Amino acid sequence: MLLSILSLGITVQCKEQADQPTYLYAKYPIAVYEYSIKQKRAKKKGDPPKQVLKKKRKDTLVKAEKVKLLPMTEQDKMIARLSKKNLVKIEQSDGTIGYLDKKHLAGQPLVIVKDKLPYYKRPGSIKLGRLPIGTICLTLGTNPQKTMLKVFCGYVWINEEEVWIANKWIPRKGYSVATKDIDQARMIESAAEIIRKYREDEASVDELEVEAATNHLEVIIDTGGPLALAAQRALWDSADSQDQVQAEEPSDTEKQDPNDEIGQTEDGDL
Protein backbone atom coordinates (compact mmCIF):
# COMPACT_ATOMS: atom_id res chain seq x y z
CA MET A 1 0.00 0.00 0.00
CA LEU A 2 2.77 2.38 0.99
CA LEU A 3 4.68 1.58 -2.20
CA SER A 4 1.57 2.30 -4.26
CA ILE A 5 1.13 5.69 -2.60
CA LEU A 6 4.80 6.56 -3.13
CA SER A 7 4.59 5.45 -6.75
CA LEU A 8 1.48 7.57 -7.30
CA GLY A 9 3.19 10.57 -5.69
CA ILE A 10 6.23 10.24 -7.95
CA THR A 11 3.99 9.90 -11.03
CA VAL A 12 2.04 13.05 -10.14
CA GLN A 13 5.24 14.97 -9.45
CA CYS A 14 6.75 13.94 -12.79
CA LYS A 15 3.56 14.93 -14.62
CA GLU A 16 3.51 18.32 -12.89
CA GLN A 17 7.13 18.90 -13.89
CA ALA A 18 6.36 17.90 -17.48
CA ASP A 19 3.40 20.30 -17.52
CA GLN A 20 5.58 23.26 -16.52
CA PRO A 21 5.80 25.74 -19.42
CA THR A 22 9.18 26.18 -21.10
CA TYR A 23 10.46 29.73 -21.48
CA LEU A 24 13.30 30.84 -23.74
CA TYR A 25 14.68 34.23 -24.74
CA ALA A 26 15.61 35.96 -28.01
CA LYS A 27 19.36 36.17 -28.65
CA TYR A 28 18.91 39.38 -30.66
CA PRO A 29 16.12 41.26 -32.48
CA ILE A 30 14.41 38.61 -34.61
CA ALA A 31 11.20 38.42 -36.63
CA VAL A 32 8.27 36.19 -35.67
CA TYR A 33 6.18 34.80 -38.54
CA GLU A 34 2.76 33.35 -39.13
CA TYR A 35 2.72 30.36 -41.52
CA SER A 36 -0.03 28.69 -43.49
CA ILE A 37 -0.01 25.76 -45.93
CA LYS A 38 -1.39 26.33 -49.42
CA GLN A 39 -2.03 23.86 -52.21
CA LYS A 40 -0.27 24.80 -55.45
CA ARG A 41 -1.57 23.39 -58.72
CA ALA A 42 0.77 20.85 -60.31
CA LYS A 43 2.55 21.87 -63.50
CA LYS A 44 1.87 18.54 -65.17
CA LYS A 45 -1.59 17.13 -65.61
CA GLY A 46 -2.24 14.20 -63.31
CA ASP A 47 0.41 15.16 -60.76
CA PRO A 48 -0.79 15.81 -57.20
CA PRO A 49 -0.93 19.42 -56.00
CA LYS A 50 2.20 20.72 -54.30
CA GLN A 51 2.12 22.00 -50.73
CA VAL A 52 3.79 25.38 -50.27
CA LEU A 53 4.22 27.66 -47.28
CA LYS A 54 2.92 31.18 -47.08
CA LYS A 55 4.37 33.37 -44.36
CA LYS A 56 3.49 36.74 -42.92
CA ARG A 57 5.58 38.77 -40.51
CA LYS A 58 3.75 39.20 -37.21
CA ASP A 59 6.19 40.90 -34.86
CA THR A 60 9.85 41.37 -33.91
CA LEU A 61 11.33 40.22 -30.63
CA VAL A 62 13.87 42.42 -28.87
CA LYS A 63 17.08 41.04 -27.42
CA ALA A 64 16.46 38.96 -24.27
CA GLU A 65 12.67 39.06 -24.75
CA LYS A 66 10.96 36.15 -23.01
CA VAL A 67 8.69 33.78 -24.96
CA LYS A 68 6.83 30.60 -24.06
CA LEU A 69 7.27 27.47 -26.16
CA LEU A 70 3.95 25.95 -27.18
CA PRO A 71 3.21 22.29 -28.03
CA MET A 72 3.50 21.49 -31.74
CA THR A 73 0.39 20.02 -33.37
CA GLU A 74 0.59 17.79 -36.45
CA GLN A 75 -0.16 20.88 -38.56
CA ASP A 76 2.69 22.75 -36.85
CA LYS A 77 5.08 19.84 -37.48
CA MET A 78 4.09 19.83 -41.16
CA ILE A 79 4.85 23.56 -41.35
CA ALA A 80 8.27 22.94 -39.77
CA ARG A 81 9.05 20.15 -42.27
CA LEU A 82 8.05 22.30 -45.25
CA SER A 83 10.14 25.21 -43.95
CA LYS A 84 13.22 22.96 -43.64
CA LYS A 85 14.01 24.79 -40.40
CA ASN A 86 13.89 23.88 -36.74
CA LEU A 87 10.74 25.93 -36.25
CA VAL A 88 9.14 26.26 -32.84
CA LYS A 89 5.78 27.73 -31.95
CA ILE A 90 5.99 30.54 -29.41
CA GLU A 91 3.71 32.82 -27.44
CA GLN A 92 4.75 36.36 -26.52
CA SER A 93 3.79 38.13 -23.30
CA ASP A 94 0.84 39.85 -25.03
CA GLY A 95 -0.55 36.54 -26.30
CA THR A 96 0.77 36.88 -29.86
CA ILE A 97 1.50 33.43 -31.32
CA GLY A 98 3.93 32.75 -34.15
CA TYR A 99 6.90 30.72 -35.34
CA LEU A 100 10.66 31.18 -35.51
CA ASP A 101 13.77 29.02 -35.77
CA LYS A 102 14.86 27.71 -32.37
CA LYS A 103 18.49 28.63 -33.09
CA HIS A 104 17.52 32.26 -32.40
CA LEU A 105 16.56 31.44 -28.80
CA ALA A 106 18.63 30.77 -25.69
CA GLY A 107 18.31 30.42 -21.93
CA GLN A 108 18.22 32.87 -19.03
CA PRO A 109 19.54 36.35 -19.91
CA LEU A 110 22.06 38.10 -17.69
CA VAL A 111 23.89 41.42 -17.61
CA ILE A 112 27.51 41.91 -16.66
CA VAL A 113 27.76 44.13 -13.56
CA LYS A 114 31.48 43.62 -12.84
CA ASP A 115 33.58 45.55 -15.33
CA LYS A 116 36.19 43.66 -17.37
CA LEU A 117 34.75 40.22 -16.60
CA PRO A 118 37.02 37.68 -18.37
CA TYR A 119 35.67 35.28 -20.96
CA TYR A 120 37.22 32.10 -22.33
CA LYS A 121 37.01 29.81 -25.34
CA ARG A 122 36.32 26.89 -23.00
CA PRO A 123 36.69 26.16 -19.26
CA GLY A 124 40.38 25.91 -18.39
CA SER A 125 41.60 27.61 -21.58
CA ILE A 126 43.45 30.91 -21.79
CA LYS A 127 41.52 34.16 -21.40
CA LEU A 128 40.29 35.61 -24.71
CA GLY A 129 39.37 39.03 -23.38
CA ARG A 130 37.16 40.95 -20.99
CA LEU A 131 33.50 41.92 -21.18
CA PRO A 132 32.57 45.50 -20.32
CA ILE A 133 29.99 46.27 -17.67
CA GLY A 134 26.46 46.44 -19.10
CA THR A 135 26.95 43.61 -21.63
CA ILE A 136 23.80 41.51 -22.06
CA CYS A 137 24.37 37.78 -22.62
CA LEU A 138 22.17 34.68 -22.69
CA THR A 139 23.00 31.32 -21.20
CA LEU A 140 23.59 28.22 -23.33
CA GLY A 141 24.74 25.79 -20.66
CA THR A 142 27.13 25.10 -17.76
CA ASN A 143 30.24 23.00 -17.26
CA PRO A 144 29.91 19.77 -15.20
CA GLN A 145 31.41 21.46 -12.14
CA LYS A 146 28.81 24.27 -12.38
CA THR A 147 31.60 26.86 -12.05
CA MET A 148 31.24 28.47 -15.49
CA LEU A 149 28.48 29.46 -17.89
CA LYS A 150 28.45 29.09 -21.66
CA VAL A 151 27.00 32.31 -23.09
CA PHE A 152 25.92 34.08 -26.24
CA CYS A 153 26.48 37.86 -26.23
CA GLY A 154 26.42 38.72 -29.94
CA TYR A 155 28.26 41.85 -31.05
CA VAL A 156 29.76 43.80 -28.15
CA TRP A 157 31.32 47.26 -28.44
CA ILE A 158 34.88 47.02 -27.12
CA ASN A 159 37.41 49.76 -27.80
CA GLU A 160 35.18 51.36 -30.43
CA GLU A 161 34.79 48.20 -32.49
CA GLU A 162 32.24 45.41 -32.51
CA VAL A 163 33.49 42.07 -31.25
CA TRP A 164 31.44 38.91 -31.92
CA ILE A 165 31.13 36.84 -28.75
CA ALA A 166 29.25 33.53 -29.02
CA ASN A 167 29.66 30.12 -27.40
CA LYS A 168 32.20 31.51 -24.94
CA TRP A 169 32.53 30.85 -21.21
CA ILE A 170 32.41 33.18 -18.21
CA PRO A 171 32.83 32.50 -14.47
CA ARG A 172 29.65 32.23 -12.42
CA LYS A 173 30.09 35.64 -10.82
CA GLY A 174 30.03 39.30 -11.77
CA TYR A 175 26.58 39.31 -13.40
CA SER A 176 22.94 39.90 -12.54
CA VAL A 177 19.82 38.09 -13.72
CA ALA A 178 17.46 40.65 -12.16
CA THR A 179 14.84 41.81 -14.66
CA LYS A 180 15.28 45.47 -13.66
CA ASP A 181 19.02 45.33 -14.39
CA ILE A 182 18.50 43.62 -17.76
CA ASP A 183 15.84 46.18 -18.73
CA GLN A 184 18.16 49.01 -17.71
CA ALA A 185 21.03 47.50 -19.72
CA ARG A 186 18.78 47.30 -22.79
CA MET A 187 17.89 50.96 -22.35
CA ILE A 188 21.59 51.86 -22.09
CA GLU A 189 22.34 49.86 -25.27
CA SER A 190 19.54 51.63 -27.14
CA ALA A 191 20.61 55.08 -25.94
CA ALA A 192 24.26 54.37 -26.75
CA GLU A 193 23.33 53.32 -30.31
CA ILE A 194 21.39 56.57 -30.85
CA ILE A 195 24.29 58.69 -29.60
CA ARG A 196 26.81 56.67 -31.64
CA LYS A 197 24.82 57.19 -34.85
CA TYR A 198 24.46 60.88 -34.10
CA ARG A 199 28.21 61.28 -33.67
CA GLU A 200 28.83 59.51 -36.98
CA ASP A 201 26.20 61.49 -38.90
CA GLU A 202 24.20 64.20 -37.15
CA ALA A 203 21.63 64.34 -39.94
CA SER A 204 20.75 60.64 -39.53
CA VAL A 205 19.20 61.01 -36.06
CA ASP A 206 16.50 63.34 -34.76
CA GLU A 207 17.90 65.70 -32.13
CA LEU A 208 14.91 64.98 -29.88
CA GLU A 209 15.91 61.29 -29.85
CA VAL A 210 19.45 62.24 -28.89
CA GLU A 211 18.17 64.50 -26.12
CA ALA A 212 15.90 61.76 -24.74
CA ALA A 213 18.72 59.19 -24.88
CA THR A 214 21.07 61.58 -23.09
CA ASN A 215 18.50 62.28 -20.39
CA HIS A 216 17.94 58.55 -19.78
CA LEU A 217 21.67 57.97 -19.34
CA GLU A 218 22.07 60.96 -17.03
CA VAL A 219 19.27 59.67 -14.79
CA ILE A 220 20.97 56.27 -14.49
CA ILE A 221 24.29 57.94 -13.67
CA ASP A 222 22.74 60.24 -11.06
CA THR A 223 20.83 57.45 -9.30
CA GLY A 224 23.88 55.19 -9.18
CA GLY A 225 23.45 51.43 -9.14
CA PRO A 226 25.39 48.57 -10.72
CA LEU A 227 25.13 49.94 -14.29
CA ALA A 228 25.98 53.60 -13.66
CA LEU A 229 29.46 53.10 -15.15
CA ALA A 230 27.97 51.56 -18.31
CA ALA A 231 25.67 54.58 -18.70
CA GLN A 232 28.60 56.94 -18.15
CA ARG A 233 30.63 55.23 -20.86
CA ALA A 234 27.72 55.33 -23.27
CA LEU A 235 27.28 59.05 -22.63
CA TRP A 236 30.91 60.14 -22.67
CA ASP A 237 32.25 57.47 -25.02
CA SER A 238 34.99 56.41 -22.60
CA ALA A 239 35.52 52.99 -24.18
CA ASP A 240 39.26 53.77 -24.23
CA SER A 241 39.43 52.72 -20.59
CA GLN A 242 38.63 49.12 -21.48
CA ASP A 243 41.30 46.50 -22.14
CA GLN A 244 42.25 45.86 -25.75
CA VAL A 245 40.62 42.70 -27.11
CA GLN A 246 41.29 41.14 -30.47
CA ALA A 247 38.10 41.11 -32.51
CA GLU A 248 36.85 37.70 -33.62
CA GLU A 249 34.76 37.32 -36.76
CA PRO A 250 31.82 34.96 -36.21
CA SER A 251 32.10 31.60 -37.90
CA ASP A 252 29.12 29.72 -39.29
CA THR A 253 29.52 27.19 -36.48
CA GLU A 254 29.32 29.86 -33.81
CA LYS A 255 26.34 31.55 -35.41
CA GLN A 256 24.34 28.35 -35.77
CA ASP A 257 25.70 25.85 -33.26
CA PRO A 258 23.16 22.98 -33.28
CA ASN A 259 24.70 21.47 -30.15
CA ASP A 260 24.07 24.42 -27.84
CA GLU A 261 22.65 23.40 -24.47
CA ILE A 262 19.68 25.72 -24.17
CA GLY A 263 18.49 26.52 -20.67
CA GLN A 264 14.83 26.51 -19.73
CA THR A 265 14.81 28.42 -16.47
CA GLU A 266 12.46 31.10 -15.28
CA ASP A 267 13.92 34.36 -13.95
CA GLY A 268 16.16 33.57 -11.01
CA ASP A 269 19.69 32.85 -9.87
CA LEU A 270 22.03 30.96 -12.16
Q: In order of start, what are the domains of the chain with their CATH numbers?
A: 21-106 (2.30.30), 107-270 (no CATH)
What gap in Å lies between CA 143 and CA 140, rounded to an integer? 10
Q: Is 151 exposed, middle or buried (0-12, 13-18, 19+ CB in 10 A)?
A: buried
The radius of gyration of the chain from alpha carbons, rounded to an integer in Å, stands at 22
* Confidence (pTM): 0.77
Residue type, 157: W
Nearest residue to 151 via CA among 161, 141, 162: 141
Sorted by sequence, the CB contacts under 8 Å of residue 151 that are 6+ apart come out as 110, 119, 137, 138, 139, 140, 165, 168, 169, 170
What gap in Å lies between CA 206 and CA 90, rounded to an integer? 35
Phi, psi angles (nearest 5°) of residue 132: -75, 155
Residue-wise pLDDT tens for the chain (270 aa)? 544 544 444 443 444 444 567 999 999 999 999 999 988 877 777 677 788 899 999 999 999 999 999 999 999 999 999 999 999 999 999 999 999 999 999 999 999 999 999 999 999 999 999 999 999 999 999 999 999 999 999 999 887 789 999 999 999 999 999 999 999 999 999 999 999 888 888 888 899 999 999 999 999 999 999 999 999 999 886 344 344 333 344 444 444 443 344 433 334 457
Q: Beta-carbon neighbour count of residue 170 at 10 Å?
A: 23
pLDDT of the residue at 89: 98
Q: Helices (DSSP H) in 38-168: which residue ranges? A: 74-83
pLDDT of the residue at 128: 94
pLDDT of the residue at 21: 75
CB-based contact 25:105 (threshold 8 Å): yes
pLDDT of the residue at 15: 43
